[in-house]
Amino acid sequence: MISKTRTPRIPWIPVVVAAVLAALAAVLTAPGPAQAAAPASAGTVRHGLSQPDYSYANAIREAVWVDTGLDGDGRTDRVAVDIVRPSEPAEAGRKVPVIMDASPYYSCCGRGNESQIKTYDAAGNIVQAPLFYDNYFVPRGYATVLVDLAGTDRSDGCVDVGGPSDVQSAKAVVDWLNGRAKGWSARSGGAAVTAGWTDGEVGMIGKSWDGTIANGVAATGVRGLKTIVPISSISSWYDYYFHQGAPLQDGPEWLSDYVESDSAHANCAAEQQKIIDGSPRTGDWTPFWTARDYVKDAGRVRASVFAVQGMQDLNVRTKHFGQWWTALAAHGVQRKVWLSQTGHVDPFDYRRGAWVPTLQRWFDHYLLGVDNGIQREPMADIERGVDHWTTDPVWPAPGTRDTALTLGPTGTPGLGTLGEHGRPAAGATESFTDDPDLWEEDWAAAADTATPAKTAFTTGVLAKDLRISGGGTVTVTATSTTASAHLSAVLVDLGPATIRDHLAGGEGILTGTTRSCYGESTAGDSACFLDTSADKETVDHTVFSRGWADLGHYASLSHGVPLTPGRPYTLTIQLAATDHVVPAGHRLALIVAGTDNGLILPPDSTPTVSVDLSRSVLRLPLTGGAAALRTTPGAPAAGAVRTPAARRSAAPAPVLTPAAELG
């Protein structure tokens, strides 16, 4: 998860918040009883919204070290907790809820588009709290709590990359806020500190690793955690490092080393070795990954979930969102989602004017108990075009049904058809030879040209819009000429469009030079952040969903096997969740190939792979089901000649560093 974040400073200017979204008659899945309006004694809610009644300049700033219950050196490790909370409720004996961001990045790398880090005064109390949460929400009667995960910044312990130590170091703080754990005024020794100023109602928020920890803590079922807002976050760490056995990048030990504090570097060699030993590069699922799989514990989640995901995030891929969302739905968790066209980007940087008031209403409802109706509004906001958003009452979209599409041959090797036609006769095949120097953009640009490194299956020209809402699968029966083979499957919208340039450095946004302000400032902590705009590009095709797999893991993730050359193997590749409309006049393509350069690592051989079309099928969640797929009679399908629009000029594949930093 490579940090592409950047840092601000300007006096506070009041910001006018955009009008909140109109309530519609849709209901979130499994709604609970409406919460009563916050009591007047809370002193922060008027006209259905928390109000900036309290002074940010006079806020209480303090540091507490909370016992995690984990023993690293003969005493329990303590994690550093920096708190900014309004002084007026404390003086009046009123208790406040908490917005909490637990992160490994507060000193090593920074948070947000401007790479803000924590800064401190001479007494060790926080001066700059990264991001806008403290500036905006503390005046509205919330405390903000920023936790250094174990082994980072000012905390004891060791980083274990999403494992029990990471999760427990944040969960312990929720317990302390609810009187179930011990806190101290110093990292060692010190006086006992309690959190008598809070009512124990906690909401966790964060992007990337931060949001991942929110998922992990919620999956413990800890009491007092009322809601989480995970942004581009991992739901199972195996799926960050592998996709069905195919390696996405090097091992997690690089990431732990990257974020550890100096003291952790000196003391955590044994933990680092456990990470290496537990995560072999075979692609096999081990107990290490089981301990970092939050999806399996979705049934323990008590908190509501407001998930945010960039549909073109090639860092934390949308598989994480999709499988987490599906598991939460199965257990009736209240939830909401925003799906953007960006890559690994915070909504504050692509839809700021709507994000801040929506987040405020979400926290007001779940932490202050305000019956503002947000739980009855549309479940999903989706960026359909650049800065053009639509809503759905539930997600996936109503009327969406899995639909089987068959892969058929044409007279041109490497080019096939895609549709509802009958399965081809036994013996129909298409073949490709793995070329690890090519990636999905190379394949998609040549979707109508026979090339040796891929095979492309396309529909005819669509007679009406076709919406794919959710995650699909591709089942292939494949034969390799060598003992190892990696497979890629990508969905492509063939036709011109203007999209966010998610492959550029800002992953769909441009950072400007002006600033807008959200909340109040002090000399050491500005509420004013650099403005952003959409980074657009005109294309003639759009890759919108992907999946990868190691053919040697065809039978089980637990243990991959060498392939027998010439023997057929059947494998189902999971395609990442998406919500994309292929417009009328465009075509839908499925490309099956080998190494997706920059997104998966190549196998240790260079196989030629043959796909048995009679035993292969694409299943897609089509809104409207099979009836939604209609093509224009006589319109060209595979092999059609297109006049391309201005496509990104030979966009290079993303560079896989030893592990992209999550931020």
- Distance CA(33)–CA(63), nearest Å, equals 37
Exposure b/e, 521-546, CB count within 10 A at least 16 = b: bbeebbbbbbebebbbbebbbbbbbb
Residue reference for tokens 């692509």: 350
Do the bridges between strand 578-582 and strand 568-574 make them parallel or antiparallel, or are there none, so unpaired? unpaired
**Binning pLDDT at 50, 70 and 90, where does residue 636 land?**
low
Rounded to the nearest 5°, which phi and psi values hold at 157?
Answer: 90, -170
Q: Mean pLDDT throughout 391-402?
A: 97
Query: Average pLDDT, whole number, for the chain?
Result: 90
Query: What pLDDT is stored for residue 16 in this prediction?
Result: 31
Residue 212 pLDDT more than 70? Answer: yes
400: region left, alpha or beta (phi > 0 left; psi from -120 to 50 alpha): beta
**Binning pLDDT at 50, 70 and 90, where does residue 572 land?**
very high
- Distance CA(97)–CA(123), nearest Å, equals 25
Residue 317 lies inside a defined structural domain of this protein: no
Query: What pLDDT is stored for residue 249 in this prediction?
Result: 85
Q: Mean pLDDT throughout 586-615?
A: 97
Residue 33 pLDDT more than 60? Answer: no
| 489 close to 590: Cβ distance less than 8 angstroms | yes
Alpha carbon 219 to chain centroid, angstroms: 16
DSSP H or E stretch at residue 91: helix 87-92
Query: What pLDDT is stored for residue 424 in this prediction?
Result: 87
Query: What pLDDT is stored for residue 651 in this prediction?
Result: 59
Q: Which two tokens stand for residue 410?
A: 């044409």
**Binning pLDDT at 50, 70 and 90, where does residue 40 land?**
very low
Out of 72-81, 318-327, 392-401, pick the least confident. 72-81
- Distance CA(262)–CA(497), nearest Å, equals 48
DSSP-H helix ranges across 187-252? 209-218, 238-241
Residue 197 pLDDT more than 60? Answer: yes
- Distance CA(522)–CA(526), nearest Å, equals 6
**Binning pLDDT at 50, 70 and 90, where does residue 8 land?**
very low
Instruction: Say which DSSP state 270 is in.
Output: H
Question: Which CATH number belongs to the domain containing residue 467 in this structure?
Answer: 2.60.120.260
Residue 196 lies inside a defined structural domain of this protein: no
**Binning pLDDT at 50, 70 and 90, where does residue 10 land?**
very low
Q: Which two tokens stand for residue 475?
A: 């089942």
374: region left, alpha or beta (phi > 0 left; psi from -120 to 50 alpha): alpha
User: What is the domain extent for residue 591?
Assistant: 400-501+537-628
Cβ neighbourhood burial of 159 (10 Å; 0-12, 13-18, 19+): buried
- Distance CA(14)–CA(649), nearest Å, equals 42
Q: Which two tokens stand for residue 627?
A: 């009836």
Spatial CB neighbours of 257, under 8 Å, sequence gap ≥ 6: 265, 272
Pick the more confident residue, 275 or 661: 275
> What domain count does the chain have?
1
Query: What pLDDT is stored for residue 21 in this prediction?
Result: 31
pLDDT in tens, 355-375: 999 999 999 999 999 999 999
Residue 12 pLDDT more than 70? Answer: no
Residue 468 lies inside a defined structural domain of this protein: yes
pTM score, two decimals? 0.91
| 525 close to 134: Cβ distance less than 8 angstroms | yes
Residue 422 lies inside a defined structural domain of this protein: yes
Residue 425 lies inside a defined structural domain of this protein: yes
Query: What pLDDT is stored for residue 74 in this prediction?
Result: 59
Residue 255 lies inside a defined structural domain of this protein: no
Residue 542 pLDDT more than 90? Answer: yes
Residue 318 pLDDT more than 60? Answer: yes
**Binning pLDDT at 50, 70 and 90, where does residue 71 land?**
confident
Residue 199 pLDDT more than 90? Answer: yes
Residue 376 lies inside a defined structural domain of this protein: no
- Residue whose C-alpha is closest to residue 366's, from 328, 334, 395: 334
Out of 37-51, 306-320, 486-500, 568-582, pick the least confident. 37-51
Residue 164 pLDDT more than 80? Answer: yes
Residue 20 pLDDT more than 90? Answer: no
Q: Mean pLDDT throughout 204-221?
A: 98
Residue 519 pLDDT more than 80? Answer: yes
Q: Would you please indicate which residues are annotated as catalytic (active-site) residues?
A: 208, 313, 344
Residue 545 lies inside a defined structural domain of this protein: yes
**Binning pLDDT at 50, 70 and 90, where does residue 609 land?**
very high
DSSP H or E stretch at residue 499: strand 486-500
Pick the more confident residue, 103 or 427: 103
Residue 166 pLDDT more than 80? Answer: yes
Q: Mean pLDDT throughout 607-618?
A: 97
Residue 138 pLDDT more than 70? Answer: yes
Query: What pLDDT is stored for residue 423 in this prediction?
Result: 83
Query: What pLDDT is stored for residue 663 in this prediction?
Result: 77
Half-sphere exposure of 270 (CA within 13 A, CB side): 4
Residue 178 pLDDT more than 80? Answer: yes
Q: Mean pLDDT throughout 211-238?
A: 98
Q: Mean pLDDT throughout 120-129?
A: 96
Q: Mean pLDDT throughout 467-486?
A: 98
Residue 637 pLDDT more than 60? Answer: no
